């Protein structure tokens, strides 16, 4: 990105908070709704270890390697946290983390699972964001629309397995100005999520999904601009989103002014 090319470790720690706090909110929401669930989290190593449910797409170790050296014993603790839930230990690794994190993960036999493009954008108070699509209304989700919103996102992201993952989105529509929906002729055709993180003065942009029959109309780009406006009104000066490299999601973000801050790696180790 134009004004974040020369990043520091502190910049990266701030950016990493986007996914970290999103995962944390998901785990806390599941635990609140289902007190008997296995959802768990732990503040550790300057970041958080998060577990939502087995095979759940959210839940990794975030923010490690920014508050000092990482030891083999630290990574063993990460393994223990996830292995007791019979799931793989996964760790987000920023290229700006202390090199000791890479070394400790290597010693413990972690392997690369995926790469993620981390995109960021400064938000200026003087900017104007016009999120308009002809024939489509874009606005915040109302309480009575929360169930429809999460069903739309689950349907687009998980298809025939949507019902299994609807709970993933349950907490994101509640008291959240970053939860937006798009309507055509009164029908909800798309939804987008995000999170305002006041501690880091940033806005995290999460999934945006459009039903197949409404795709190609510019809704995704409009969602980007609408969430930037929400973030600006909340006083945030930085927005962050993650995509897989070379995807339509990455191109939509770049059209809204986001630029690649860095590519980070997710490493994983299966339980014994």
pLDDT tens-digit profile of 156-214? 988 888 777 777 777 788 889 999 999 999 999 999 999 999 999 999 999 899 999 98
Q: How far is CA 118 from CA 6, 93, 234, in A?
A: 15, 12, 22
- Pair 108, 42 in one domain: yes
Q: Is residue 255 included in any domain, yes or no? A: no
CATH of the domain at 184: 3.40.630.30
Parallel/antiparallel/unpaired status of strands 238-243 and 202-210? parallel
**Structural domain count of the chain:** 2
**Contact in structure between 262 and 118 (CB atoms under 8 Å):** yes
153 & 101 share domain:
no
pTM for the full predicted model: 0.87
Asked if residue 175 is part of any domain, the answer here is yes
Could you tell me if 46 and 101 lie in one domain? yes
What are the pLDDT digits (tens) for 27-79?
998 898 889 999 999 999 999 999 998 887 788 999 999 999 999 999 999 99
Query: Do the domain assignments include residue 246?
Result: no
Q: Is the pLDDT of residue 236 over 80?
A: yes
34 and 70 belong to one structural domain: yes
What is the torsion angle, in degrees rounded to the nearest 10, for the CA atoms of residue 197, residue 201, residue 206 and residue 211? 100
- Residue 140 host element (H or E): strand 137-140
Residue 126 resides in a domain: no
Report the C-alpha gap between 167 and 98 in whole angstroms.
35
Structural domain of 178: 137-236
**Whether residue 13 sits in one domain with residue 113:** yes
* For residues 9-16, average pLDDT: 92
d(CA 213, CA 63): 39
**pLDDT score of 157:** 85
């Amino acid at each position: 990105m134009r004004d974040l090319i020369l990043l520091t470790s502190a910049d990266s720690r701030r950016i990493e908070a986007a996914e970290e706090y999103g995962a944390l909110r998901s785990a806390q929401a599941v635990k609140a709704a289902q007190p008997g669930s296995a959802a768990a989290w732990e503040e550790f190593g300057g970041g958080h270890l998060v577990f939502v449910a087995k095979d759940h797409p959210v839940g990794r170790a975030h923010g490690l390697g920014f508050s000092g050296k990482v030891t083999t014993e630290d990574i063993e603790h990460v393994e223990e946290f996830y292995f007791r839930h019979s799931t793989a230990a996964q760790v987000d690794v920023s290229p700006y983390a202390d090199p000791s994190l890479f070394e400790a993960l290597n010693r413990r036999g972690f392997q690369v699972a995926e790469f993620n493009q981390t995109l960021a954008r400064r938000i200026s108070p003087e900017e104007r964001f016009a999120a308009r699509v002809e024939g489509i209304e874009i606005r915040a989700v109302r309480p009575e629309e929360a169930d429809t919103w999460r069903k739309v996102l689950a349907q687009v992201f998980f298809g025939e397995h949507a019902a299994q993952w609807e709970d993933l989105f349950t907490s994101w529509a509640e008291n959240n100005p970053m939860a937006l929906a798009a309507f055509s002729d009164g029908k909800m055709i798309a939804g987008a999520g995000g999170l305002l993180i006041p501690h880091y003065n940033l806005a995290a942009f999460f999934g945006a999904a459009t039903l197949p029959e409404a795709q190609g109309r510019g809704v995704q780009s409009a969602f980007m601009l609408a969430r930037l406006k929400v973030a600006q009104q909340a006083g945030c000066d930085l927005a962050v989103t993650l995509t897989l490299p070379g995807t339509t999601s990455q191109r939509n973000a770049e059209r809204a002014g986001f630029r690649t801050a860095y590519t980070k790696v997710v490493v994983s180790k299966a339980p014994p």
